[in-house]
Amino acid sequence: MSEPPADPSSGAHRERRDALCWLLIALGGLLLAAVAVQLDARLGTASAPFLGRYKIRIGAGTILAPAVAAAVLWLAAAGRFTRVRWPEIQLFGYAAGLAWAIALALVDGWSGLTKALGSPEEYLGDVSQVGAEPLTYLRHFTADPSYHSVASRGHPPGPVLFLWALQRIGVTDHIVLGFLITAVSVLTIPLVLAAVRDSVGEEAARRYLPVLVLAPYAIWTAVSLDGLVAVLGAAAIVSGLRASRRRVRGWASSGWGVLAGLLVGLASLFSYSAPWLGLSLVCVYFARRRASLNVLSGFGALLPVLGAQLLGFGWADGLVAAETDYASRVAPYRSVLWWSAISVVVLFLAAGPPLYASARKVRNTAMWPFLAGAGAAVVFSIAAGLARGGVEHAWLPFFPWLTVAAVAPERPAGDPPPAPLLLAGLGAVVAVIVEGVLITPW
């Protein structure tokens, strides 16, 4: 006997409850951060839960960003996303996500795209060290971290070499460079949509689009090279999903499996936390009973790392150097206890209200492998005492995967819920407010 269809009013009531619960948690977290600041705890910032300072600003994005959000929500509410072909959905998701990220950045004017590039603490200041000899730069990367910028000390050499390569081909204007980095980073949106479609179907992916496009963490997409890690990680997961499809076997499956690992390995040359996305691949292969693909993806992941080793950069040595620098430069001046709690607050604010709904329904969806890798990365970062400020951009590769279950049914194998437009809209409001009052150091 079939179950009766879900009551739409019940779904709307559940969404309002999710929004209220998230709001209470977020307000409680902000209160905790305020108490930490008032107690003069060792935070390294007076703007907790974020790093930076507060100042109300009004710019072009103050009007443009709400207009972009309103357009996306209106199109979703009007059912437009159910009437177009899938390639058009992906293209719209990319275009809308790019407009959203750029609009938020423009609250600061053009400096919203360039201030991170011009900061002496960011990667661009290290490009001059590369000169005309990138291999020499690789060989000496771990010799003395004090010669690097703050950003480079905590990362492999990938970001600096990426910027160096762009300069070598003539991309030197900071506005153009900032736009290009943002445009590449936003490719995460169509890739995550493809992963959701492959896992639970096209209908859920279409309903997830507003959540993904209007995510609050888009604030940092335009100013962080961690967005490139997010793209590589998303492409790896999509490749792993294609490798493990039921009808894909033989050379095609092997090729996709190796490519998935290769992309994770490449991402690992940009961020030491990127290998956690490999856990999502392992879980995907486990869920689809294709364990042999772990060997192929593992082989692929080793290729970029071993290649860098042969060229002079030891990934493990770089990780040790980064941890040593962190232990001496950051750890003594930022309380691990306070920041462990405050980083969770940042997570709730950056991922937005859909995070609460996703966490509540994670057991009801086949998308749990995505949350496994991203969730493990976040938990490990906090447990290891590494989350002491700046996670709003450091966790960019993981944020999209933590909210995918927001479009999961209320019960296993149940009817899919409508697009959580209230949660997506509330998240957009959070992004506009944070961008309008917070000046980040990036």
DSSP of 197-208: HHHH-HHHHHHH
What is the span of the domain harbouring residue 53? 35-439
Give the number of C-alpha atoms closer than 13 A to the C-alpha of residue 272, restricted to the C-beta side.
20
3-class secondary structure, 230: helix
- How many angstroms separate the Cα of 40 from the Cα of each of 19, 149, 194, 335? 32, 28, 46, 11
| Residue that is written with structure tokens 């486990």 in the block | 286
Is residue 342 a contact partner of residue 388, using CB atoms and an 8 Å limit? no
DSSP structural state of residue 438: E
Question: Is residue 8 in some structural domain?
Answer: no
pLDDT at 115: 81
Write out the two tokens for 228.
């490139």
Question: Is residue 12 in some structural domain?
Answer: no
pLDDT at 292: 92
pLDDT at 112: 83
Q: What is the pLDDT along the chain (442 residues), one digit of tens a residue?
A: 444 455 556 678 899 999 999 999 999 999 999 999 999 889 988 888 998 788 887 777 789 999 999 999 999 999 899 889 999 999 999 999 999 999 999 988 888 888 888 777 889 889 989 988 999 999 999 988 888 898 999 999 999 999 999 999 999 899 999 999 999 999 999 999 999 999 999 999 999 999 999 999 999 988 789 999 999 999 999 999 999 998 888 899 999 999 999 999 999 999 999 999 999 999 999 999 999 999 999 999 999 999 999 999 999 999 999 999 999 888 898 999 999 999 999 999 999 999 999 999 988 888 999 999 999 999 999 998 888 888 998 999 999 999 999 999 988 877 888 999 999 999 999 999 999 888 776 6
When divided into structural domains, the chain yields a total of 1
- Residues whose CB falls within 8 Å of the CB of residue 197, separated by 6 or more in sequence, listed in order: 86, 204, 205
Rounded CA-CA distance 229/298 in Å is: 18
Question: Is residue 16 in some structural domain?
Answer: no
Q: What are the phi and psi torsion angles at 414 (to 5°)? A: -85, 180
Question: Is residue 29 in some structural domain?
Answer: no
Rounded CA-CA distance 123/151 in Å is: 6
Is residue 369 a contact partner of residue 290, using CB atoms and an 8 Å limit? no
Write out the two tokens for 179.
């736009």
| Residue that is written with structure tokens 């279950």 in the block | 405
Which long-range CB contacts under 8 A does 332-336 form with residues at least 24 apart?
A: 333/42, 333/44, 334/42, 334/43, 334/44, 334/388, 334/389, 335/41, 335/42, 335/43, 335/388, 336/385, 336/388
User: What pairing do the DSSP bridges indicate for beta strands 438-439 and 53-54?
Assistant: antiparallel
CA angle, residues 106, 91, 224, in degrees to nearest 5 = 40
Number of other residues whose CB lies within 10 A of the CB of residue 27:
10
DSSP structural state of residue 2: P
Number of other residues whose CB lies within 10 A of the CB of residue 309:
15
Question: Is residue 224 in some structural domain?
Answer: yes
- How many angstroms separate the Cα of 250 from the Cα of each of 190, 245, 358? 27, 12, 35
Question: Is residue 18 in some structural domain?
Answer: no
Give the number of C-alpha atoms closer than 13 A to the C-alpha of residue 77, restricted to the C-beta side.
11
Q: What are the phi and psi torsion angles at 357 (to 5°)? A: -65, -40
Rounded CA-CA distance 182/117 in Å is: 12
pLDDT at 414: 79
- How many angstroms separate the Cα of 174 from the Cα of each of 124, 180, 350? 10, 10, 26
Question: Is residue 15 in some structural domain?
Answer: no
Helix, strand, coil abundance in the chain, percent, nearest 5: 70, 0, 30
Q: Which helix (H) or strand (E) holds 54?
A: strand 53-54
pLDDT at 9: 62
Is residue 274 a contact partner of residue 261, using CB atoms and an 8 Å limit? no
- Residues whose CB falls within 8 Å of the CB of residue 424, separated by 6 or more in sequence, listed in order: 72, 73, 76, 210, 211, 213, 214, 352, 353, 354
Is residue 405 a contact partner of residue 364, using CB atoms and an 8 Å limit? yes
Question: Is residue 406 in some structural domain?
Answer: yes
Rounded CA-CA distance 334/327 in Å is: 10
